[in-house]
């Protein structure tokens, strides 16, 4: 690739009608007013599993942020989070004890999906700001309630769809808004992961886990290693591949295309490898009001290419994933040995965008400005994923009624 192909976001903005708007966006990336050394943000963690501990690592990179409390009903997860939090932090098995602390300014909610609604509502009612992982809700009805409660408060709530804060994904939004792609009629998105066999993982000691508390609002049922480890793939706790993975990409698509919800959804999937409830291999198709279609394919059987999004336009195609962005023009000869031309615009990702999302959250806590991945966009993304799951369960195309807020 010619070095001239790889451009920066600023260089692109210079050459488009978005330059003025883009400069404002770039200015928005600057930190808020400098606070004194004593103005520290103190964070508690509600649900200290693998993803939450990864998020904690990002929070610890932000100046004047410290963890003062961690909570989990599984003792090893609680201990691992306490080690990350560092000296002075306390561990709890009951998240209400974290919310009762007057010195906690914000909470990081990294629990399983079926706990997100109650934890967020309780946190907001306790006067805490919150960073809640995606998908924010375990049903469309839950998400609507969460939006109402947050809107009725003065709390800052950031959701874990970090692409909203990630530089090359933001560049993609500007490219689409510039009209460079022409008419977009199809967006293809995909995500492939390879899950390890449960037999290769260490067993969970039930004595270390308060299973009844972990179940929460879910129906009472016996403990199994599979349900605890792969909870995303059981309907009582998660929503499978759509809510886990599509939620990220559909948020990007709805953001770029200025469409908050589809018209219809059709989903097919099955279990070909795992003994779960939610399909391990799936295809979903959404039709949108803007006369375009979204296709998603997902599987946990292989990991090559991971995941990404391709916007197919009449004048150019935009490919974006977590490693790079590339714009391929139409009407240009293919590069030798390739089925595509050299990219007209290319930008690499410099780091994990979760850090940018956390920085934005902390900045908004200080300024009280709305965050990039606010509760509304977090809900809209999760809602579309759940519409796809409703289509899967119905075994037919379903129509979304935005006036009634439900499938027709």
101 domain residue, yes or no: yes
Q: Which domain holds residue 186?
A: 181-351+375-407
Whether residue 91 is contained in a domain is answered as: yes
Of 163, 194, 214, which residue constitutes the final position of a domain? 163
260 with 400, same domain?
yes
| Residues 156 and 193 grouped into a single domain | no
* Residues 159 and 185 reside in one and the same domain: no
Identify whether the C-beta of residue 243 lies closer than 8 Å to the C-beta of residue 232.
yes
In a domain, 189, yes or no: yes
Q: How many domains does the chain have?
A: 2
Bond from prior residue into 135 cis (ω within 30 degrees of 0): yes
Q: Classify the C-alpha dihedral 341-344-349-353 as positive or negative.
A: negative
Nearest 5°: the CA angle 360, 237, 228 is 100
Number of H helices, E strands in the chain: 14, 16
Distances, alpha carbon 23 to alpha carbons 166, 211, 285, 313, in Å: 16, 51, 36, 26
- Pairing label, strands 324-329, 316-321: antiparallel
Taking the C-alpha atoms of residue 320 and residue 172, their distance in angstroms, rounded to an integer, is 7
Q: Where are the beta strands (DSSP E) in 169-291?
A: 184-192, 264-270, 281-288
pLDDT of 5:
45
The reported pLDDT for the residue numbered 20 is 34
pLDDT at 200 (0 to 100):
75
Whose tokens are 């309907």? That residue is: 235
Q: Which two tokens stand for residue 392?
A: 């899967």
- Do 186 and 250 lie in one domain? The reply is yes
Residues 237 and 192 in one domain: yes
Residues 146 and 49 in one domain: yes
Are 59 and 159 members of one domain? yes
Q: Structure pTM? A: 0.90
* 359 falls within a domain: no
Residue 145: what are its φ and ψ, rounded to 5°? -65, -40
How high is the pLDDT of residue 69? 98
Residue 211 domain-assigned (yes or no): yes
3-state secondary structure of 392: helix
Asked if residue 24 is part of any domain, the answer here is: yes
Domain assignment of residue 202, yes or no:
yes
94, 129, 163: which is the final residue of a domain?
Answer: 163
The token pair that represents 95 in the structure block? 């998240």
- The answer to whether residues 216 and 245 belong to one domain is yes
* Alpha helices in 258-348, H assignment, sequence order: none
- List the pLDDT tens digit at each of the 408 positions of the chain: 544 445 554 555 444 433 333 333 333 333 332 333 348 999 999 999 999 999 999 999 999 999 999 999 999 999 999 999 999 999 999 999 999 999 999 999 999 999 999 999 999 999 999 999 999 999 999 999 999 999 999 999 999 999 999 999 999 999 999 999 999 999 999 999 998 766 677 889 999 999 999 999 999 999 999 999 999 999 999 999 999 999 999 999 999 999 999 999 999 999 999 889 999 999 999 999 989 999 999 999 999 989 999 999 999 999 999 999 999 999 999 999 999 999 999 999 999 999 999 999 999 999 999 999 999 999 999 999 999 999 999 999 999 999 999 998
Supply the CATH number for residue 306's domain. Answer: 3.30.360.10
The answer to whether residue 339 sits within a structural domain is: yes
Are residue 283 and residue 154 in the same domain, yes or no? no
In this predicted structure, what is the pLDDT of residue 338?
93
Q: Does residue 13 contact residue 23 with C-beta atoms inside 8 Å?
A: yes
Residue 141 and residue 229 share a domain: no
Contacts of 30 (CB under 8 A, 6+ apart): none
Domain endpoint, select from 117, 134, 163: 163
Residue keyed to tokens 């914000």: 106
Structure tokens at 101: 């602390």
Q: How far is CA 242 from CA 104, 218, 245, 306, 395, in A?
A: 33, 20, 6, 15, 15
Same domain, 244 and 279: yes
**CATH classification of the domain holding 103:** 3.40.50.720
Are 137 and 214 found together in one domain? no
């Amino acid at each position: 690739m010619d070095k001239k192909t790889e451009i920066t976001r600023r260089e692109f903005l210079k050459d488009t009608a978005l330059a003025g708007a883009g400069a404002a966006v770039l200015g928005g990336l600057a930190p808020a007013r400098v606070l004194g050394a004593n103005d520290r943000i103190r964070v508690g963690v509600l649900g200290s599993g693998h993803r939450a501990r990864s998020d904690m690592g990002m929070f610890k990179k932000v100046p004047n942020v410290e963890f003062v409390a961690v909570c989990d009903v599984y003792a090893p997860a609680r201990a691992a989070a306490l080690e990350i939090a560092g000296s002075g932090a306390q561990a709890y098995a009951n998240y209400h004890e974290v919310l009762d602390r007057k010195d906690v300014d914000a909470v990081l909610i990294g629990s399983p999906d079926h706990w997100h609604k109650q934890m967020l509502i309780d946190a907001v009612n306790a006067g805490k700001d919150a960073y809640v992982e995606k998908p924010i809700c375990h049903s469309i009805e839950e998400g609507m309630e969460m939006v109402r409660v947050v809107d009725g408060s003065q709390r800052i709530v950031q959701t874990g769809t970090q692409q909203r804060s990630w530089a090359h994904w933001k560049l993609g939004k500007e490219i689409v808004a510039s009209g460079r792609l022409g008419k977009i009629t199809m967006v293809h998105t995909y995500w492939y992961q390879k899950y390890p066999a449960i037999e290769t993982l260490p067993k969970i000691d039930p004595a270390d886990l308060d299973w009844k508390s972990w179940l929460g609002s879910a129906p009472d049922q016996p403990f199994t290693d599979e349900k605890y480890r792969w909870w995303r793939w059981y309907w009582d706790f998660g929503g499978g591949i759509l809510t886990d993975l599509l939620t990220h990409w559909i948020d990007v698509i709805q953001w770029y295309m200025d469409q908050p919800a589809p018209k219809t959804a059709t989903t097919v999937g099955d279990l070909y490898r795992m003994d779960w409830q939610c399909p391990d291999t799936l295809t979903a198709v959404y039709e949108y009001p803007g006369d375009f279609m979204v296709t998603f394919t997902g599987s946990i059987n292989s990991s090559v290419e991971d995941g990404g999004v391709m916007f197919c336009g009449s004048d150019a195609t935009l490919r974006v994933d977590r490693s790079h962005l590339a714009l391929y023009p139409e009407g240009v000869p293919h590069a030798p040995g390739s089925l595509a031309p050299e990219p007209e615009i290319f930008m690499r990702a410099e780091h994990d965008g979760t850090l940018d999302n956390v920085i934005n959250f902390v900045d908004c806590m200080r300024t009280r400005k709305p965050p990039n991945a606010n509760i509304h966009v977090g809900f809209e993304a999760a809602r579309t994923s759940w519409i796809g799951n409703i289509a899967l369960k119905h075994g037919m195309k379903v129509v979304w009624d935005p006036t009634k807020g439900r499938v027709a």
